[in-house]
Structure 1
Amino acid sequence: MKRNILLFKGNTSKIKNSILAHFLQFFLFLFAFCFVSPTAHTQILYDIPTQNLVLEAIDHIYNYEFGEVEPVARQIRAKYPNHPVNSMLKAMQLQWQYLPVKDNKGVSGQYLSLLHDCLAKAKVLEKNEKTRPEAAFFSMAGHGYIALMHNYNGDKLKAVSEAKQAYDYVMEGFKYMDKNPEFYFSSGLYNYYVIRYPEDHPIVKPMLFFFKDGNREEGLRQMDVAARKGVFTRTESAFYLARIFLKHELRYERAGVYLASLTQKYPNNPIFLMKYTEALLLLNKYEEAKPYLERLTKRTDKFFPIIWRTFEGLIQEKHLKNDQEAVKFYQAALRQSYDDEYTKEYHAFSYAGLARIALRAGDRKKAIGYYKKVEELAEYKALLKEAKDFFR
């Protein structure tokens, strides 16, 4: 099937809000956490010393060593002052350093400016056929991140516009996989989610007539190629595969393998630590999870208390069989507002735990209320199945 660009030219105000929201979210699945890793395909591709500098800067960012980034970035700028890699590196740093960047008003403006600067510099590269693959990658990344920002700020129409432009470059990336393994990531992500997303959200199925066909297993294979062979996208490919195995595929062992490696390589990264702890808990490896959970409990900032309190609740409920203590942790997690991007699912985990405890206490009415909240919040296949089985 061929995508029809006219889909985006109609009067979008006539599209029902629910359909628009799901349609946009389908696009954004292609970009959430996806393209934070910059790359270059002409100058830097053949400049191994500069490649190593970029990788060094990226490793510092992933490991939360933000003070170490600028001396390395300065060397890259000195050699390639007008290259989009510079803006993308800085945007990547802001994204991780001020996570979630959308909530930091003092930084989010700078973040968007860097992304627009990246796009402007990529446009220059786009004019030359030899640098077109390089331009496509940076344009895909820039438009994708801007789409995410507009989405989380509630401006759906702007987000759709940016996502549409990013989509064009995703399609272009299919042509470049054989030339550069970095594009296995975007191509694999598309192949997977163009099948998976409508399975989870049937409301978007009529719109998929306009999209290129996908292949879920091929998408997983392509992302694994990127995780093994990619230079700049290796870390994000591994992380996103782990999230897919946790969220959709219920293959917790596979997720644990990727996350164990990431946590070992980047011990200071709390997001990798968070997901690895989650994988261990879903595998019922409670004792193995404890030292990682102890590290998480030291984070009292931002949304981290939601995460570790939910994990503590799971251990109390499922490992220690102490429902009373589990309720305290679950309720404490729910008292803090969730973040759509990072902690919404942990609210769903907490509500599911409270539902199970209510059922054991013989309070079906409470369980009904809790499982309704799970249906409202959850995207994890296991949680949705648990709620569905209860109401069946």
Structure 2
Amino acid sequence: MVVGIVFSLVPILTYGQSAPEDSLMEMKRSPYLLLDRGLQYRITKSINSMYNFDFETAERDFQVIAYQYPNHPLPDFLMALSYWWRIEVDITNESYDDIFLAYIDRANEKAEALFDEDPTNKEAAFFLAAGYGFEGRLKAERKSWTGAAWAGKNALKYMELSRGEEEFNPELLLGDALFNYFSVWIPDNYPLLKPVMALFPKGNKDLGLEQLEQVATNAFYTRIEAMYFLFRLYASQEKKPYEALRISSYLHEKFPNNPYFHRSYARHLYTVGRWSEAVEESGEILKRIETGMTGYESNSGRYAAFYMAQYYERIGNRDEAKYYYLKTLSYGEESESQESGYYLHSLVQLGQIALEENQKALAKDYFKKVKKYAKRKHPAHQAARDFIKKNKL
């Protein structure tokens, strides 16, 4: 999943701040629609609705913009962004891929028409960079490396062409930041992708992280997207869990109904050992899944149930721990995530509990499942083999 991020090399239109009230009075007109202050104010509210998973409200507003600006790429791009967040909650779910790509294609076609009319149109280049960046990102997630590389190169080309408009600079910096970080990180961690990355210029990982911080602090359109990447990098690559928690806490507070931000917040609470808060948030996630709240599904349930199980195991409540480990398995199977770490670790823990309860046949079944789904070098696979050998199962 992380590999796909490199192809999101371009600014992504996300809005995390409210425009000042007096901007409505000023209604300063720009030659570019994106920089129109009145429209910025209207779009801010719509995008905030989208981030909070109120897609009905957001998309109704996007349709109004489409009616007002039928030949501009902005409305179609916003609709694509709305479907991207449906994908982001569970990246393995491909049911939204076609409609997402259809909106991206329409946005690209309209941007290309503007660009053909005027090759100096920075806004058209901006949208083409963003559109190809998103396309590349999805194709990388789907392991379509050739298509991802092609889209990534187009994104970089148009990102370069969109430079020179001072008001766009904070937003364009996100593309630079992601490229600088991942163009170094991917070859170091995925040697097989070195030939693909050889197609791109060389980046600077430390500079990329610094640029992401700048975007998260200073940008208007791309501030929230930069925060999204920062907390992921701080949590997984940079080993700065408290920084990840700080950012995910802010995002969950601002967008409390966004399931991705919600489960990330719960995860970072769990990681730093703030158990009572992690349990509270995990319980709320499970409750929202049960009530069918938009975006809350089995993938988020797998996270939340695992944190609950870990907590009850920690305090010595075996029955509750077993209950939530079984829920983790159920959610993992529903989302076809049997190779995930939480699923495998739950199997190992359930096998160990079965041994403690003198249910050797059941324990053996759990450990055999671990060996079935885990790669041989995975710690869970090693643990299962050790338990089988030690207990002569």
Q: For this structure pair, what is the TM-score category when the shorter chain's length is used for normalisation?
A: 0.7 to 0.9
More off after superposition, 248-257 vs 148-157: 148-157
TM superposition shift of 1:180: 1.6
Aligned residue runs from structure 1 range 310-349, under 5 A = 310-317=306-313, 319-322=314-317, 325-335=320-330, 336-337=332-333, 347-349=340-342
Do the aligned residues in 2 keep the contact of 1:314 with 1:353 (CA within 8 Å)?
no
Larger Rg: 2
Structure 2-normalised TM-score?
Answer: 0.74
Q: Paired residue for 2:301?
A: 305
Do the aligned residues in 1 keep the contact of 2:173 with 2:215 (CA within 8 Å)?
yes
Distance change >3 Å, CA 351–CA 27, structure 1 → 2: closer
Q: Paired residue for 2:65?
A: 76
What are the superposed Cα offsets for residues 31-88 of structure 1, whole Å, 9 maximum, x if unpaired? Answer: 2997363899842344201111121111010012223224533453354332111001
What are the superposed Cα offsets for residues 280-320 of structure 1, whole Å, 9 maximum, x if unpaired? Answer: 00011011223211220121434332222222223233x42
Q: Paired residue for 1:85?
A: 74
Q: Paired residue for 2:266?
A: 277
Q: Paired residue for 2:121?
A: 131
Distance change >3 Å, CA 130–CA 174, structure 1 → 2: closer
Q: Paired residue for 1:60?
A: 49
TM superposition shift of 1:170: 5.0
What are the superposed Cα offsets for residues 180-213 of structure 1, whole Å, 9 maximum, x if unpaired? Answer: 2011111111111122222322333455444322
SS at structure 2 position matched to 1:311: helix
CA distance in 2, matches of 1:26, 1:177: 31
Give the letter aligned to residue 315 of structure 2.
Answer: L
Structure 1-normalised TM-score?
Answer: 0.74
Distance change >3 Å, CA 339–CA 215, structure 1 → 2: farther
Give the letter aligned to residue 326 of structure 1.
Answer: A
Distance change >3 Å, CA 70–CA 238, structure 1 → 2: same
**Where does structure 1 lack aligned partners over 5 or more consecutive residues?**
1-21
**Where does structure 2 lack aligned partners over 5 or more consecutive residues?**
17-28, 291-296, 387-393
CA distance in 2, matches of 1:159, 1:309: 34
CA distance in 2, matches of 1:224, 1:165: 25
CA distance in 2, matches of 1:135, 1:56: 24
Distance change >3 Å, CA 321–CA 368, structure 1 → 2: farther
Aligned residue runs from structure 1 range 119-198, under 5 A = 119-127=108-116, 128-132=118-122, 134-150=123-139, 156-169=145-158, 179-198=168-187
Distance change >3 Å, CA 219–CA 328, structure 1 → 2: same
Do the aligned residues in 2 keep the contact of 1:348 with 1:373 (CA within 8 Å)?
no
TM superposition shift of 1:327: 4.7
What are the superposed Cα offsets for residues 233-272 of structure 1, whole Å, 9 maximum, x if unpaired? Answer: 1111111110111111121110111111111111111111
